[in-house]
Amino acid sequence: MDALIIVESPAKARTIARYLGQGHAVKASVGHVKDLPPKRLGVDVEKDFEPEYVVIRGKKKVLDEIRSAAKKADRVLLAPDPDREGEAIAWHIAEELSKVNEHVYRVLFNEITKTAIQAAIAEPQELDRNKYDSQQARRILDRLVGYEISPLLWRKVRQGLSAGRVQSVAVRLVVDREDEIRAFEPVEFWVIQALLEAGEPPVLTTRLHAIDGDKARVPDGEAAARIVADLEAGEYRVARLEKKARSRRPAPPFTTSKMQQEAARKLRFTAKRTMRVAQKLYEGLDVGEEDPVGLITYMRTDSTRVSETALTAVREHIAEKYGADYLPEKPVRYAAKKGAQDAHEAIRPTSLERTPEALKRMLGRDELKLYTLIWKRFVASQMKPARYDQTTIDVSCGRYTLRATGSVPTFPGFTAVYTEGKDENGEDEDKEKKLPRVAEGDALKLEQVLSEQKFTQPPPRFLESSLVKELEEKGIGRPSTYAAILSTIQDKGYVEKRENRFHPTELGELVTELLVENFPLILDAKFTAGMEDRLDRIQEGEVDWLDMIREFYGPFHASVENAREHMRNVKREAEPTDVICDQCGKNMVLRWGKAGRFLACSGYPECRNTREVERGENGEVIARPPETTDEVCDKCGAPMTIKRGRFGRFLACTAYPECRNTRPVASKHPCPVQGCEGMLVERRTRRGRTFWGCSRYPDCDFATWETPVEEACPQCQGRYLLTRKSRGKQLKRCPACGWGDAPPKRRAKKKKDEDKQGTD
């Protein structure tokens, strides 16, 4: 055998194997094969931070197969992804093969096409020690932070919590934004408009712009009423007319973070979903050609560079499809962002001939959506700017100046293909707005004066796209890690998404407060960004990785020792309240438990009464009224009440602690599986997502993400329908006969073990 080629994923292995002739074997490592041990630090701080790498559970068989194949090969070509993580995989495999094959090399390619693979194999390289050291330094840093801070949180707050060098800073961004929103005091202002006739349509809508030459400020209704009275009695004349030709350049081709942001804006994809789909497009799909083919270049990159071959191809496509008017004289070059790693190209299609239209029937829905976005963005990036005429009309009325602006496109340019989305619903300055034909000095007739009270708005909570943007701008993490960061902070229960925006949980705010107080440097965004910069410099060979770790660990470990002594012990805290225990009459205290804050009787252990808690409008502590039910405990006969736990609502016996019986909250809706006598009960996954499942689980495994509602089916008169939202619409279907506009959305089988019995 001439060569053994080792890649990360089976999908990539299958694609590459079909490109190569006999004499080549391709095997997949299925990700990392070695890592620090999962249940201990694995870094010997006494021996200059010597890492202990162990074979990952389940990977021994994979390594044995690779080792066996390497013995028969003339040479081994390590071809994991061309980034730091890929380099670490390559080094760990090389170490395992050192005794069975001396001819081990590294091959790099930016796209999985036949030409790129053959070119890479023809020019094998040495492994990059600097890139490996950079990944190793990051891994050790993260392990030191996580393994030294997390046990403190277990001891002081609750078991199972975690802290991370990057994730904790990301949570702080969400918490700080929430603090800004709470502290924000809205300021009243008034918007005044005058609708004017110019002799021909349309009506000219002007807005108060200046008073006596200074910027107009209308602070209250009294001032607004005076101005409205003046404007209603005044005469109007065009004071200034200005036309300017403007242009707007296209956005660069996608980097990883920009792709995540735009997929969130336009496709409603999470960063995790975007990267999962992009991985498929990169590794290779069957699109009706002789072999599966990679449809896009490598999707983890912060470079906007494009190869000369790709530039030539896209320019030919633009000239042929849109004409010479849309093609710039020279290829468009985009400046690299400060600190960007330029090892890979921007994300682009591997071939302009594979248009989204040509692949429409061959790709899955998500794959087609993301590929279309990438394809259009890349083509648009090499087109001429859009041009438009912007007109500004200033109208005078005594001491008041009113202004109207409008834009009229004169040449679509790149917008014929693609326009970048926006995070917030602000007014688009380039939005087309028609204005009547007027000239300076023209008199105008007043039709109506409008005044509207408004208030300044607090900064918005983060969307998926705006949080990724914030992480990128502050230099926190790297684009390849954003998807994992956003998933982790939700999985850990530190933030949650409501109406597509990130809200900190009570737990997230508490942990952030403790960490900022005890580890201000670790929680500082600038410090974290500086660490990322040093990791980049390690990769460039400018900084020694051990020097960086040594410099970091001394002050960090000292702060850990200090926190062991001085960090608040939330578990032991009992904050007095004015709430009176309804069982013994003593005051209740606020404590912290597994499900968050709760009220407990100060007479514990004689009185074990607890109540759920909520905050009033002014932040005061209020005992949440118990949710009564008609349910009776099947063990002692006492009434059951609804309580909330880590996995959502559940029924609990009111005779607690004498009777500790609990059971899921059952709906009034029978399980739709024919012959089953169970009822649908509300449950939650360990990640906090609500679903409905049969009360007879595991005997009946029916489960759905859809919510049952009391509404008769118009077709079979069934007692209820299942509903869910999709793109803002409420979709309904009948679980009995299948009527409706919402196809079944069952929980995936592979999640059954994770989610089963997800109630208290």
Instruction: Supply the residues annotated as catalytic.
Output: 298
Q: Is 756 helix (H, G, I), strand (E, B) or coil?
A: coil
Q: Are 494 and 505 in contact (CB under 8 A)?
A: yes
Q: Which two tokens stand for residue 135?
A: 């990944």
β pairing state of 662-670 and 679-684: antiparallel
The C-alpha atoms of residue 485 and residue 166 are separated, in whole angstroms, by 8
3-state helix, strand, coil in the chain (%, to 5): 35, 25, 40
Q: DSSP E strands: which ranges in 212-301?
A: 214-215, 236-248
The C-alpha atoms of residue 370 and residue 270 are separated, in whole angstroms, by 12
Quick one: DSSP state of residue 128? Answer: -
Per the DSSP assignment, residues forming a β-bridge with 708 are: 722
Q: DSSP E strands: which ranges in 63-211?
A: 75-78, 104-106, 188-197, 204-211
Report cis status (omega within 30 of 0) of the bond before 37.
no
The C-alpha atoms of residue 61 and residue 675 are separated, in whole angstroms, by 45
Of 626, 630, 542, the residue nearest 582 (C-alpha): 626
User: What is the DSSP annotation of 557-610?
Assistant: HHHHHHHHHHS--GGG--EEEEEEPTTT-PEEEEEEETTEEEEEETTTTT---E
CA-angle at 193, arms to 188 and 198, nearest 5°: 170
Q: Which H/E stretch holds residue 390?
A: strand 386-397
Q: Which two tokens stand for residue 285?
A: 């799909």
Residue with tokens 């009243």: 188
CA-angle at 189, arms to 188 and 194, nearest 5°: 155
**Single-letter amino acid code for the residue at 610:** T
User: What is the DSSP annotation of 503-563?
Assistant: EE-HHHHHHHHHHHHH-TTTT-HHHHHHHHHHHHHHHTTSS-HHHHHHHHHHHHHHHHHHH
Q: Please name the residues in contact with 30: beta carbons below 8 A apart, sequence gap of 6 or more.
A: 8, 9, 10, 59, 62
Q: Which H/E stretch holds residue 681?
A: strand 679-684
